[in-house]
Each structure stands twice: as structure tokens, then as C-alpha cells.
Amino acid sequence: MSENEIKFLTREEALSIVAAIQEEEDIHNQNKRILTVYNFEDKEICWFDFEEVSDAVKALGHPTAKSHVQDYILEHIPDWAKDM
């Protein structure tokens, strides 16, 4: 594994720290949406680009329904999020 390769939490680990996934406007780019992930202390853990996640979900052959987007994000929470 290379130094730059991201390790992801298991789904179970992600579910133990992720309290909410909120679609929001990117404050740095008005025409862009992001999906912000919050923990149970209401702290931001990480965020995902909405379009990139939608494209990835479509590439997997799934509709971009909320449940598929949430599943994708839960499978891509970086392992460093445990330390947040």
C-alpha cells in the first residue's frame, strides 16, 4: 500500500461514528453541492463532492437515490475520521 493510499473504515465502524450526512452548498463555490458528514458530537468529520458521489453511484449501476448515496459514503469514510 502506498503512502498516499486512503484506508476506509468498515461499514460497522463508520456507522458507529457517523450521525448525519447533510447536503449543503459549498461556501467556496455557490454552484456546487457537498455532502458533509457529522459525528455524534455534531462535528464535521469529512465531506464529499455531491457530483462526484452521484457519478460514482451511477457507475456502480445504482440510481442516485438517497439510500445509495448514503451507502456509498458510509463505505468511503477515511480511517482517520476515528480520530476526529
Pick out the chain residues at pLDDT < 50. Answer: none
pTM, 2 dp: 0.87
Write out the three cell numbers for 6: 486512503
Specify the pLDDT at position 24. Answer: 95
Specify the pLDDT at position 3. Answer: 64
Specify the pLDDT at position 35. Answer: 96
Contact indicator for 32, 48 with CB cutoff of 8 Å: no
Domain positions in the chain are: 11-83
Spatial CB neighbours of 77, under 8 Å, sequence gap ≥ 6: 8, 9, 13, 14, 17, 18, 37, 45, 46
